[in-house]
Structure 1
Amino acid sequence: RVWRWGHKAMLRWLDETCSSSNTSMLKATGSGWQVSRARLYVAPATWRMSTYRHARHMSTGAAGREARHERPHARAEVQGKFQGRTGLFGIKGLERPQDFPKQAQEAADKIANLRERVISGRAEMAAKQMLILMDEISDSLCLVIDAAELCRSVHADSAWKENAMLAYEMLGDVISQLNSDEQLYRALDVCVKHRVGADFNEEDKRMAWSLREDFERGGVHLDEAGRQEVIELQARASALLYEFTCDQYDEAEPSLVIPAHLADVLPTWMKRTMTSDGATAVNLSQDSLQALLQVIPDEEVRKAAYLSYHQHQPRVRTLEQLLHVRQLIAHKMNFSSFADYAISGKMAASPRIVEDFLHHLSDQLKPRARQEVEILKKQKQHYQALEDGSSHEIFPWDFPFYSLVARSPQHELACKLIRNFLPLSRVLQGIGMLLENTFGISMRAVELGEGEGWSTEVKKFELTLSESLNDEQVLKFPTDDKGLLGILYLDLIKRPGKFGGAAHFTIQCGRMMEDGQYRPPVLALVGNFSPPAQLQEPLLSFGELEMLLHEFGHALHSIVGRTRYQHLSGTRISMDVVEIPSTLMEYFAWDPDFIQSFAKHYVTGESIPFS
């Protein structure tokens, strides 16, 4: 078990993996538009591959080996580096909502100057210097647009959200223009074809080819009218996808009135909208729909909720428009379908390979699936006291409810009891011990600066090298000059107006600076845990524990990844492989040694029992 390896063995494994197999991962790096797990696909990613869901590359190649720093002697020095930072997310100058558009304009002006330097100096400029300037363009964009994406997803203040959206749209236009900039493409093309010499290491080569491929996917080969059309189509597709995935429509959300006699089964957070007669008006979103389908015993109410959400006309209309715009993009780019366009440059290579895999997987699962459907049918027949011959077909709105009913009482009791041993604070302590013992990384809570947070529930952590590491191991994990590996914000409590689900956001990518120092990444993990009634701290289910470990896997990927270029930083790798580190992290939830290291009853302090 990994937990029993200890951090030294794990560090050896990471070093071997990153120096060998990650080279092949880089080959798959191409354009991609992602938003950590919720996936908001935005403009083509020549200059930006977004946070979520989001996902990037880890490297300890030449760039990492060149950055060797002394280990810090005073942990207090680490915090001192950031004490002067003010503003939202610790970003200097981001103190008011109006600062977002201001920073977007400053970024756009800086990008214009960098672009001019590349174009005017392309004849004499060293190839590696050109890559550095192009990465500076990418970094200037990401520092603002990634922060804007997080803000519009989690901030409780509408003014902050609106200004973040404005900044996002301003830079979205800049991205589209850059992705189809023929002069930049020609400069890069000359660099790749004729001036890649002995001074280029493997990472430099991957950076050059990745940028070139992204340009070509952005339509740079088209004439001016064609490029402009692609820009407009991509902007439209980005806006439509955001509307669809986040339920952000001009029209009101669909709603459903839950009768008073069903109120007792509703989650606590839904009862806030209870009327005087005991009925509850519920706005239907992805989260609320799933919750209703699990607990409402009345089939007609479940059916009404399911159909109201999925047949909501703004939702259907947005999806149809998105599919149409995507098909136009694919045809403009000379692909037969958007699936062909989206999969090009990925490890899967073609939609046919993906389809074959899914059909093969489906064939393997069908026998078991049929057995489970029969179990659900019997549960429905028994639950509704249907006579033999009566219809007990399982409909889409039945699966969540009868899946819970079909579980044994002992199983349900165990699921409820396990929460008592997984208070969020204990879980975070356990993850901290895991990072320390297995990866040699210390996670320490620190105070938020003035204006740095966006909700009272937000917590801030600094991740540094463990004191238990020896000097040889420290050299393989370059940090900033104070020993900092990265900053991590945790925003894990459900609240109104917040992005639903769970996600890993990048606020600042790691990269090598011109002075030879490594700039650590700044990240945010977002969740939606609901505290039980009269308890301020959430008690996690086993599934929520897995989810939190999954998102920590994304964060760890970004924290320990070391690249010269921010364009290749952290989780910025192909979507084919981005979920590997996060999925591997989930396996710790099944390790008894790990669970027993922290799981204690939130009242008695008793350790979790194992049979």
Structure 2
Amino acid sequence: MNNPLLEKFDTPFESAPFTKIKNEHYKPAFEEAIELAKKEIDEITNNPENPTFENTIEAMELSGEKLGQISSIFFNLNSAETNDEMQKIAQEVSPSLSEFGNDVRLNEKLFERVKAVYEQKDSFNLTDEQAYLLEKKYKGFSRNGANLNNEDKEKLRDIDKQLSMLSLQFGQNVLAETNNFQLVITDEKDLKGLPDYAIEQAKADAEEKNITGWVITLQAPSFIPFMQYAENRELREKLFKANGLKAYQDNEYNNEENVKKIVALRHQRAQILGYFTHADYILEERMAKTPKTVLDFLNDLLAKAKPFAEKEIEELSKFAKEIDHIDVLQRWDHAYYAEKLKQKKFSLSEEELKPYFQLENVTQGAFDVATKLFGITFKEINTIDKYNDEVTTYEVLDKHGNFLSLLYADFFPRSGKRPGAWMTSFREASNINGNSKRPHISIVCNFTKPTKDTPSLLTFQEVTTLFHEFGHALHGMLPNTVYESLAGTNVYWDFVELPSQFFENYCYEPEALKLFAKHYKTGEIIPQELIEKVKASASFMEGFQTLRQLSFGLLDMSYHGNNDNNLDNLQVFEKDIFKQTDLYPEVENSMMSTSFSHIFQGGYSSGYYSYKWAEVLDADAFAFFQETGIFNPETAQKFYKLLSSGGTIEPMKLYEEFRGNKPTPDALLKRAGLAN
């Protein structure tokens, strides 16, 4: 059988031949690619020549290319375009991949070669990037068990295999629970308050499922407008509680045991490797360095934000009582009354804004901001194979017209796509021995779909989400690095959110908004009056939103930063952590942990704090642009250097090169309205 995954991609830019790839190709491709990668590692290990940077470190960097290519295609599609068969394949191949990874990391002979190069590094005349790569490779071995005895190495192998399976199962359960719930509405009066676009979407979802009436789901473009606008309080409560029950019900998709096992195994792994907790292990390779630094950071922000949040909820409660006689404001009331209060205070509603944010215009706006800053351009092309017809593909060129990257944009919810929004890559950048490979980057979101009568119109939150993921994409598309493992977003986890959150700032700037915020019917640019309202409302409920983010960071650190947790009852454990940030009555039989994909499926364990950490960086960085001009070419060139350097320089050093000094939280507190 010809297997397109194992052949050279004879396609434009060597892009993935998605339409040729069938499910039956994956498993044999993985098996052959693992064998090929093993041979490449054996050649390095058994090389009779003395270890050098080129024949050991660089050779390792070049090994496993085919396996990496297949893995990126399969696991990206398993998130964006999955099905039962793919999920089964993921369960089958993950243990083999975990085992191969450990075969490399625990290979004593290979580590001896790496160690020999590391100990002689001063004699090799290495570039700064080569020295950084050597440091990373050496640490990769020492931090992952190379110095362990054989018994502990076997324990580590078993733990890693279990963790890879549990993480997959966790994600599959969340996706199943998200897809399985639907709120069917048959009485039109239950739609009261919903804007036309949300009603149209609910009708389209019903038609897609052959249901009479309207369907509300747990997908963000359906869930959020209903919680924000639906006047029927009982249905808001029902939807809210359904969301809180994701993977926490008495069925096959319950994630409680998965959470307990993942936390316990991560802790065991850290202890075997000589660390006090999983957080100590993870944070050693982060800007924050220690759990104490993270907790001090989170608790300091909590102390500053909580008084503001309490005042916000007090005001909201009075407002809800005043207009609707609500005696006790509940969690399912928050978005609804916050939207109404926002309208009252700023004469601004999402419904008023949405006509100015047609998806195609916002996408082009993100491109235009990048063009004004860095001179790069984006050209839609139709010669690139896609994994779904909804995907749009772009060729990205630098200011001299040279090819920089491919960009895939996948914007709408599907049953095979996990919730949320993310940036990923099908190929990373590298330039070893003059063999330049440019990246293939993808943005995946779950935005409001177009209907028969209306194009996709984004909420302002969706606008900032698109800019956020585009910031990540730029980080991935602009590398000027030699080695793939140091390119793009391969940076410390608490630094990776800087470019994404930095780009969100442009959504509030009149000079940027005028590039893309145009009424979808009239073409009229968003009025200055509306822009002022957007800016004025930017810090609305920011105290509450800050507390919400801090609660997730504290929960993450509680799971991973302690070695004496009692996890017999996850709900009790979670509620205890949330006590310090909760401003609403407790909801019985509700759980966040069982669908906390960031830390139990994604890569954010002991790292959720990084969103707030990076907010300090992004606010400080954008303050620099505001001082010099938000499209100032000299400042933009400095930021381009930061983006294009990837992980070749220590993040704080890189930031200081850009800014001229270390960041302070002052700009963040001022922007968020949390400074007196």
Specify the TM-score bucket, using the shorter chain as the normaliser.
0.7 to 0.9
Asked if 1:523 is matched to 2:449, the reply is no
Measured after TM superposition, the shift of residue 195 of structure 1 is 4.5
Corresponding residue for residue 396 of structure 1 = 331
- Identify if the C-alpha distance between structure 1 residues 248 and 368 changes in structure 2 by more than 3 Å, giving closer, same or farther: closer
Among 454, 457, 477, which residue is 1:559 paired with? 477
Measured after TM superposition, the shift of residue 255 of structure 1 is 3.4
Corresponding residue for residue 377 of structure 1 = 317
Corresponding residue for residue 488 of structure 2 = 570
**Greater mean deviation of Cα atoms: 89-98 or 346-355:** 89-98
> Percent sequence identity over matched residues?
21
Corresponding residue for residue 539 of structure 1 = 457
The 2-side partners of 1:598 and 1:286 are apart by 24
RMSD across aligned positions (CA): 3.2
The 1-side partners of 2:273 and 2:219 are apart by 35
Corresponding residue for residue 416 of structure 1 = 351
**Greater mean deviation of Cα atoms: 537-546 or 258-267:** 258-267
Among 243, 254, 261, which residue is 1:321 paired with? 261
Measured after TM superposition, the shift of residue 522 of structure 1 is 0.7
Among 490, 505, 521, which residue is 1:603 paired with? 521
Corresponding residue for residue 463 of structure 1 = 396
The 2-side partners of 1:551 and 1:294 are apart by 24
Corresponding residue for residue 158 of structure 2 = 232
**Aligned pairs (5 A) from 1:13-412:** 84-85=10-11, 90-91=16-17, 95-121=21-47, 123-137=49-63, 139-155=65-81, 159=85, 162-163=88-89, 166-168=92-94, 170-245=96-171, 247-248=173-174, 255=181, 257=183, 260-261=186-187, 262-263=190-191, 265=194, 268-271=200-203, 272-273=205-206, 284=218, 290=224, 292-311=226-245, 312-313=248-249, 314-386=254-326, 391-392=327-328, 394-409=329-344, 411=346
- Identify if the C-alpha distance between structure 1 residues 276 and 193 changes in structure 2 by more than 3 Å, giving closer, same or farther: closer
The 1-side partners of 2:161 and 2:429 are apart by 27
Unaligned runs of 5+ in 1: 1-81, 470-482
**Greater mean deviation of Cα atoms: 592-601 or 206-215:** 592-601
- Identify if the C-alpha distance between structure 1 residues 353 and 564 changes in structure 2 by more than 3 Å, giving closer, same or farther: same
Asked if 1:592 is matched to 2:510, the reply is yes
- Identify if the C-alpha distance between structure 1 residues 404 and 245 changes in structure 2 by more than 3 Å, giving closer, same or farther: farther
Corresponding residue for residue 367 of structure 2 = 432
Measured after TM superposition, the shift of residue 545 of structure 1 is 1.7
DSSP-derived class of the 1:200 partner: coil
The 2-side partners of 1:173 and 1:511 are apart by 26
Corresponding residue for residue 72 of structure 1 = none
Contact 1:511/1:565 (8 A) holds in 2: yes
Kindly provide the CA deviation profile for residues 573-610 of structure 1, in whole angstroms up to 9, marking residues without a partner as x. 10011111112222221221222123322112222221
Contact 2:98/2:164 (8 A) holds in 1: no
Measured after TM superposition, the shift of residue 543 of structure 1 is 1.9
- Identify if the C-alpha distance between structure 1 residues 344 and 323 changes in structure 2 by more than 3 Å, giving closer, same or farther: same
Contact 2:18/2:386 (8 A) holds in 1: no
Corresponding residue for residue 536 of structure 2 = none
The 2-side partners of 1:297 and 1:139 are apart by 54
- Identify if the C-alpha distance between structure 1 residues 539 and 134 changes in structure 2 by more than 3 Å, giving closer, same or farther: same
The 1-side partners of 2:166 and 2:220 are apart by 17
Measured after TM superposition, the shift of residue 381 of structure 1 is 2.1
Measured after TM superposition, the shift of residue 492 of structure 1 is 1.1
Measured after TM superposition, the shift of residue 397 of structure 1 is 3.2
Measured after TM superposition, the shift of residue 509 of structure 1 is 0.7
Contact 1:460/1:490 (8 A) holds in 2: yes
Contact 1:505/1:523 (8 A) holds in 2: yes
Contact 2:83/2:416 (8 A) holds in 1: no
Match of 1:604, as an amino acid?
A: T
Q: Taking CA–CA contacts closer than 8 Å with sequence separation of 6 or more, which of the two structures ends up with the larger relative contact order?
A: 1
Contact 2:430/2:487 (8 A) holds in 1: yes
Measured after TM superposition, the shift of residue 528 of structure 1 is 1.3
- Specify which structure has the higher proportion of helix: 2
Asked if 1:498 is matched to 2:424, the reply is no
- Identify if the C-alpha distance between structure 1 residues 285 and 336 changes in structure 2 by more than 3 Å, giving closer, same or farther: farther
Q: How high is the TM-score relative to the length of structure 1?
A: 0.75
Q: How high is the TM-score relative to the length of structure 2?
A: 0.68
Contact 1:141/1:171 (8 A) holds in 2: no
Measured after TM superposition, the shift of residue 526 of structure 1 is 0.7
Corresponding residue for residue 43 of structure 1 = none
- Identify if the C-alpha distance between structure 1 residues 183 and 263 changes in structure 2 by more than 3 Å, giving closer, same or farther: farther
Kindly provide the CA deviation profile for residues 393-440 of structure 1, in whole angstroms up to 9, marking residues without a partner as x. x44333333322322257575432322122122222223332323212
The 2-side partners of 1:163 and 1:536 are apart by 39
Asked if 1:511 is matched to 2:430, the reply is yes
Corresponding residue for residue 498 of structure 2 = 580
- Identify if the C-alpha distance between structure 1 residues 383 and 332 changes in structure 2 by more than 3 Å, giving closer, same or farther: farther
Match of 1:175, as an amino acid?
A: G
Contact 1:510/1:570 (8 A) holds in 2: yes
Unaligned runs of 5+ in 2: 1-7, 530-676
Contact 1:151/1:164 (8 A) holds in 2: no
DSSP-derived class of the 2:160 partner: helix
DSSP-derived class of the 1:490 partner: strand
DSSP-derived class of the 1:528 partner: coil
Kindly provide the CA deviation profile for residues 453-512 of structure 1, in whole angstroms up to 9, marking residues without a partner as x. 111111111111234x8xxxxxxxxxxxxx311111111122222122111111101001
DSSP-derived class of the 1:572 partner: coil
Aligned length: 508
Measured after TM superposition, the shift of residue 94 of structure 1 is 5.5
Contact 1:508/1:523 (8 A) holds in 2: yes
Match of 1:378, as an amino acid?
A: K
Measured after TM superposition, the shift of residue 206 of structure 1 is 1.0
**Greater mean deviation of Cα atoms: 580-589 or 114-123:** 114-123
Match of 2:351, as an amino acid?
A: K
The 2-side partners of 1:601 and 1:504 are apart by 28
DSSP-derived class of the 1:408 partner: helix
Kindly provide the CA deviation profile for residues 82-108 of structure 1, in whole angstroms up to 9, marking residues without a partner as x. 994189952499632222223322321
DSSP-derived class of the 1:504 partner: strand
Contact 1:299/1:398 (8 A) holds in 2: yes
Match of 1:375, as an amino acid?
A: E
Measured after TM superposition, the shift of residue 213 of structure 1 is 1.2
Kindly provide the CA deviation profile for residues 151-185 of structure 1, in whole angstroms up to 9, marking residues without a partner as x. 11112665556556655554333223323222222
